[in-house]
Chains A and B, each alone.
Chain A
């Protein structure tokens, strides 16, 4: 649920698989070209999946299917990768000579 003025994200199918360019790999040719744009909701109120209009940060009006209210970034540094400590130990041992960099 989002109301007028809320920061939202919309989804647009730009090209159907049949409308896509020739000479693209087969896996890509079977899926549509999709687009996501963020902005402030123009409609009074909307539910996820509704076709709505938004005003983007550059002032463009764009129409699409509402897919998120208050979208945010949650990307991270990822789960622990044990190999990286082994790399550290290896190069320090070579350059500084042995454990604890003695």
Chain B
């Protein structure tokens, strides 16, 4: 009989993962800090053409429209200095199967799981990814289990996560719901071991290869319609896969636009705190995931994460909860598009960034997500108010996550606040150096320069 205590299961982590992903991560390791990232990414055996074909032919995913938000652009120009106010476009990823870009990730994991002969897929997610895996598993005829962090110790569920549970069940999945805490991973490992299912992790090379088509489409669709590539792509950043896949796909299509990460600022709220769990109005796309996963990607549920956003981002900006809710409502009021608030994090950032760019520049917000009961601006604001959060109009700079949500009293108060990306790069280098006893090798230093989109001098200065 297996020992299922917390420590015993965690000690079996590597062997459980190896059989649940079918990928031996050890073959990419150097024995020091460096590992063969590109080798790992190509080990899937799928080229971007394969991925596009599989997504479209097997799952009817992709080629979501890019829509110009002309009224949103007008609103931004009304707030901008003369001559400023880039054209704002949005890629309507909510039109995909299951209602978000996450299905691009899910499709490749599910396709591969089926090809390898697994009977089912398992994923640990409280986000749109659960419904995405459930939808693809339904199409592929595989069983699906979604493990969610959903409730606080009072048994009160975050409405957004409850809605995702409903959608997963509607698409045929079994949903296992837990209270707050990182030990969700322990339960996830036990389920992988018990079922023998494929680990449809968000962070495998399969998942990230799936997102590459998003970036690829942005460049090809935009060039086809407007004769040029956009100047900037803004991606909501949490675990880093959205940004990583989009940027890699953009490059594969020959693009070179500026890549900006955007997260909702939840400073001061601890992600593993039981009492703070339901004081967050965003369950993803926030700094509580975005910052730690950028500065240490290998904290994910696989030995080496394929999502490594600091390799690709040029800037990282944050926006506040009240600003994203405001923009979500404005998107409905001005463009007739009712979307989930978390997916509009990058739109709120783009709204501010556009005001710093010339009028002939083009900025693409690379996702939308579906909305519904629970994951809706009204549902989230009502829930926050019920939990004692002070909701009012004012200056968003005064917002204190968990205590207040400040809706801007004028849209000109919406800001994209620049995070110190060099500080984050330095953190990644320091975190990597903690992994080894001695000094980094020359290979490690080259690797860290790639990891941080810097150069050898920068790395050597920050070791």
Contact = CB atoms under 8 A, between A and B. Distances in A.
B179 interface: yes
Given A58-B144, A83-B407, A94-B78, A24 B181 contact: yes
A38 B407 contact: no
Given A14-B178, A21-B181, A87 B381 contact: no
Nearest to A14: B187
Interface stretch (B34-42, B90-98, B159-167): B159-167
A84 B378 contact: yes
Given A15-B6, A31-B153, A34-B153, A58 B143 contact: yes
Interface string B153-193: 10001010011011001001111111111110011000000
Contacts of B426: none
A87 B175 contact: no
A60 B195 contact: yes
A25 to B, nearest CB: 4
Interface in A24-65: 24-25, 27-28, 31-39, 56-60
B334 interface: yes
Nearest to B197: A58
Contacts of B270: 25
B157 to A, nearest CB: 8
Interface string A87-99: 1101110110000
Contacts of A88: 329-330, 332-333
B112 interface: no
B140 to A, nearest CB: 14
Given A81-B381, A88-B333, A34 B175 contact: no
Given A91-B333, A91-B411, A95-B71, A37 B176 contact: yes
Contacts of B6: 15, 19-21
Interface residues of B, number: 65
Nearest to B70: A95
Given A58-B144, A75-B159, A76-B373, A34 B381 contact: no
Interface stretch (B53-61, B221-229, B237-245, B272-280): B272-280
Given A24-B272, A94-B75, A79 B382 contact: yes
A34 to B, nearest CB: 5
Contacts of B329: 84, 87-88, 91
B187 A35 contact: yes
Contacts of A81: 377-378, 381-382, 385, 391
A14 B391 CA distance: 36
B75 A78 contact: no
A87 B382 contact: no
Contact of B373 (A32, A38, A75, A84): A75
Most-contacted residue by chain B among A24, A31, A35, A95 (CB, 10 A): A95
Nearest to A91: B330
Contacts of B46: none
Contacts of A76: 159, 373-374, 379
A85 B419 CA distance: 32
B410 interface: yes
B120 interface: yes
Given A28-B181, A35-B187, A91-B330, A75 B382 contact: no
7 contacts: A14-B186, A20-B6, A31-B274, A37-B174, A57-B172, A79-B386, A88-B330
Given A80-B382, A84-B381, A95-B75, 15 more contacts: A15-B6, A21-B181, A28-B272, A36-B177, A56-B174, A58-B143, A59-B143, A73-B166, A76-B373, A77-B382, A78-B378, A81-B377, A84-B378, A91-B330, A91-B333
